[in-house]
Amino acid sequence: MTVEHPALALRGLAKRFDGTIAVAGVDLDVPAGSFYGLLGPNGAGKTTTLSMAVGLLRPDAGSAWVLGHDVWQDPVTAKRLLGVMPDGVRLFDRLTGAELLAYNGLLRGMDPAVVDQRAAELLDVLALGDAGRTLVVDYSAGMKKKIGLACALLHGPRVLVLDEPFEAVDPVSAALIRDILTRYAAGGGTVVFSSHVMEVVERLCSHVAILASGTIKRVGTIDEVRGDRSLEQVFVEVVGGRTATGEELSWLSR
């Protein structure tokens, strides 16, 4: 490759729903090999942005590239390079964990023998082997996140896009997911994930972007963004939160 493409490049992505603007023109460059955190409060447009970036939601304007391949013009190539774990989206949850992995693997055009081997390894590492023939619909929230991650990892994508991978996950599973992601990034992969858990982002990420009201407010390496303060202080200042004065809600104490 003569030109080094960014792992994920977004240009002017915009989306409006029923008159409300969800995302108002997002530009972002995720360097290859980086561990990128997309921060934002609830309703900031994180999920909408990531959905448009991976081809799940057609943007009103703008485009997205994965390693130089346009997601909306050349979806086949782009999707081959991507591993995606959407949030708030059901899995095909009437399958067992193993069946779900096999389904996703074959859907990606993988060799059945490779699917078998990788599925067994993933189930083992993610401690999902014990679930046996339990359907994914009966999994706990943490187990669902883990099987979703396994589905995204199965075909060995170059870029991993995860929406809220740490939400509703207990500390043990969270540590496991962190380990796997760190190993994946160390092996040359790129991870983009959205979150509003500051500790995780500070610990893992090389780069962050703060998204609020549908636009990027701060972007850069983690040191550039946080400066000499904590990430949480920067985040609250950018987003503009309010603190309770103690006057209201007095009826809560009796």
Round to whole Å and give the CA distance between 108 and 91. 16
For the bound state, the minimum distance from the C-beta of residue 194 to another protein, rounded and expressed in Å, comes to 16
**Closest-CA residue to 46 (of 167, 165, 194):** 194
Q: Does 191 bind another protein (CB under 8 A)?
A: no
Q: How far is the CB of 42 from another protein (least distance, A)?
A: 13
Whether 23 and 14 have beta carbons less than 8 Å apart is answered as: yes
Complex with another protein: residue 67 or 200, whichever CB lies closer: 67
| Residue 128 to residue 144: CA distance in whole angstroms | 10
Amino acid (one-letter) located at 116:
D
Nearest to residue 84, comparing CAs of 57, 61, 117, 44?
57
Distance in angstroms (rounded) separating the CA atoms of residues 207 and 201: 9
Instruction: Tell me how many degrees the CA angle 124-205-39 measures, rounded to the nearest 5.
Output: 105
Task: Determine, following the binding rule CB under 8 A, whether residue 178 of this chain makes contact with another protein.
Answer: no
In the region spanning residues 123 to 162, those forming contacts with another protein, defined by CB under 8 A, are: 123, 131-135, 138, 151
Nearest approach, Cβ of 228 to another protein (angstroms)?
35
Q: Which is nearer to another protein, 163 or 234 (CB)?
A: 163
Does residue 253 touch another protein according to CB under 8 A?
Answer: yes
The whole-angstrom distance between residue 228's C-alpha and the CA centroid of its chain comes to 27
Is the CB of 93 or the CB of 167 nearer to another protein?
Answer: 93
CA dihedral of residues 55, 61, 67, 71 (deg, nearest 10): 30
6 to 45, contacts with another protein by CB under 8 A? Answer: 18-19
75 binds another protein (CB under 8 A): yes
Question: Per CB under 8 A, which of residues 79..108 are in contact with another protein?
Answer: 79-80, 82, 84, 86, 88-96, 98-99, 101-108
Q: Which residues bind another protein (CB under 8 A)?
A: 18-19, 54-58, 75-76, 79-80, 82, 84, 86, 88-96, 98-99, 101-109, 112, 115-117, 119-120, 123, 131-135, 138, 151, 253-254
